[in-house]
């Protein structure tokens, strides 16, 4: 069989091609009576060359509808643009988050929030309403308006009071705001924890905050809120609320620093340390000086030991005293007492004579068994 010859290149180049589409032709999928079709979404990466031309493109992800809080928190209430949800680490973050930058008053003036607070929409709405009504009324009673809220802390993924291992704080859920003071348009600053600030002003702020928020912590609550107040909307069982804020007056007692400040005329610490070390070395090498001159007893004080009384001259030496000691008399020398030499009362002799000898031996053996074995033999003979 003869080998097949390859097709010449001219044959492939001369293959028929489709005619170009006329300009007046309708677009694909369009009805000539309705006009051109609306542009659809751009094809994805899977709709390139070689794909099925009849397959429908993947629909675009629909945007999440705004929440009810987001619909209420308009630009007429606060400047609070929405931000992307925060998820993690752990349980931190949230979905419906905003960045509260300013609160808008009814007269269109603004109360700046510095720094801008990252909060849940409900918390931002509660802060805005509190500033628009209660704080604005308080400033009006003082003859001014509020211009700035001094925010201390908003969203932060941490435990309560920044204690390692503690329960998650409401700050970690973007549901809390710490505030130190508000500044008025005339330059005055109303510090909520200042003991010298007007007491009635601080009491009004506490009453309004405890009415709007479920948690209010201030001075005297736990030792961590002595210079600011904490506000949050934590949800608890049976609607339980916490309002712990002691309105304190008077100056704050500040302890003196320890150690006391170094006096200005003192030498540098390096020089002073070197001098002290040399003094210690000299004291360790050289013995203390002892004065050989006699000191009168009147100048020695009560700590000087009194001299011992002199020994009497009439006392004889100890050896002579031992020789002069009289010898013991024979009557004073103890003698061993035996059963034969022990005197017997007459009644006992008569009793022994009237009884058999074996009865006396039994009685003696019983007495010896009744006494402890370690009793001295001499005393046993005496008392038997």
- Taking the C-alpha atoms of residue 14 and residue 20, their distance in angstroms, rounded to an integer, is 17
**Length of the chain in residues, anyone?**
384
Domain count, the chain: 1
Residue 189 lies in a domain: yes
Spatial distance between the Cα atoms of 326 and 258, rounded to a whole number of angstroms:
79
Does some domain include residue 147?
A: yes
Q: What was the pLDDT predicted at 176?
A: 94
The arithmetic mean of pLDDT across residues 261-287, rounded, is: 68
Q: Is residue 111 part of a domain?
A: yes
Domain span at 77: 68-194
Q: At a CB cut-off of 8 Å and minimum separation 6, what does 229 contact?
A: 178, 179, 180, 192, 193, 209, 216, 217, 218, 245
Q: Is residue 201 part of a domain?
A: no
- Which region among 16-30, 86-100, 283-297 has the lowest average model confidence (pLDDT)? 283-297
Specify if 306 maps to a domain.
Answer: no
**Which comes out higher in pLDDT, residue 97 or 270?**
97
Q: pLDDT at residue 293 above 80?
A: no
3-state helix, strand, coil in the chain (%, to 5): 30, 15, 55
* pLDDT of res. 267: 75
pLDDT at 139: 94
Any domain includes 319: no
* Cα 329 → chain centroid: 90
- Percentage of the chain beyond pLDDT 70 is 52
> What pTM does this model have?
0.51
pLDDT at residue 46 in the model: 37
Q: For residues 170 and 234, is the Cβ–Cβ distance under 8 A?
A: yes
| 98 domain-assigned | yes
- What is the band of 284 on the pLDDT scale with cuts at 50, 70, 90? low
Query: Distance of CA 336 to CAs 21, 236, 382, Å?
Result: 156, 99, 10
Position 36 scores a pLDDT of 44
């Amino acid at each position: 069989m003869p080998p097949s010859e390859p097709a010449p290149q001219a044959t492939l180049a001369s293959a028929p091609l489709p005619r170009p589409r006329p300009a007046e032709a309708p677009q694909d999928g369009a009805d000539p009576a309705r006009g051109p079709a609306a542009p659809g979404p751009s094809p994805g990466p899977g709709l390139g060359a070689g794909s099925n031309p009849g397959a429908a493109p993947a629909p675009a992800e629909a945007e999440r509808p705004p929440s009810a809080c987001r619909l209420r928190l308009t630009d007429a209430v606060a400047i609070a643009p929405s931000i992307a949800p925060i998820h993690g680490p752990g349980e931190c973050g949230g979905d419906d988050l905003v960045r509260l930058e300013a609160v808008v008053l009814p007269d269109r003036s603004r109360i700046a929030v510095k720094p801008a607070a990252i909060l849940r929409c409900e918390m931002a709405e509660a802060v805005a309403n509190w500033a628009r009504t209660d704080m604005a009324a308080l400033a009006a009673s003082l003859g001014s308006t509020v211009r700035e809220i001094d925010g201390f802390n908003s969203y932060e993924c941490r435990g309560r009071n920044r204690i390692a291992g503690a329960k998650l704080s409401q700050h970690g859920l973007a549901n809390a705001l710490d505030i130190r003071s508000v500044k008025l348009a005339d330059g005055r600053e109303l510090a909520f924890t200042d003991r010298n600030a007007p007491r009635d002003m601080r009491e009004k702020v506490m009453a309004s905050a405890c009415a709007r928020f479920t948690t209010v912590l201030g001075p005297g609550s736990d030792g961590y809120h002595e210079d600011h107040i904490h506000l949050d909307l934590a949800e608890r069982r049976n609607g339980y609320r916490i309002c712990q804020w002691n309105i304190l007056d008077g100056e704050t007692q500040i302890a003196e620093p320890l150690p006391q400040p170094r006096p200005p005329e003192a030498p540098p610490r390096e020089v002073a340390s070197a001098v002290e070390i040399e003094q210690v070395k000299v004291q360790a090498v050289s013995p203390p000086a002892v004065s050989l001159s006699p000191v009168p007893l009147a100048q020695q004080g009560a700590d000087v030991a009194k001299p011992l009384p002199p020994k009497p001259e009439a006392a004889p030496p100890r050896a002579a005293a031992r020789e002069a000691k009289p010898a013991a008399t024979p009557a004073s020398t103890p003698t061993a007492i035996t059963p034969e030499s022990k005197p017997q009362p007459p009644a006992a002799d008569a009793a022994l004579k009237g009884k058999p000898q074996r009865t006396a031996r039994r009685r003696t053996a019983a007495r010896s068994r009744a006494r402890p074995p370690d009793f001295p033999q001499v005393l046993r003979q005496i008392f038997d």
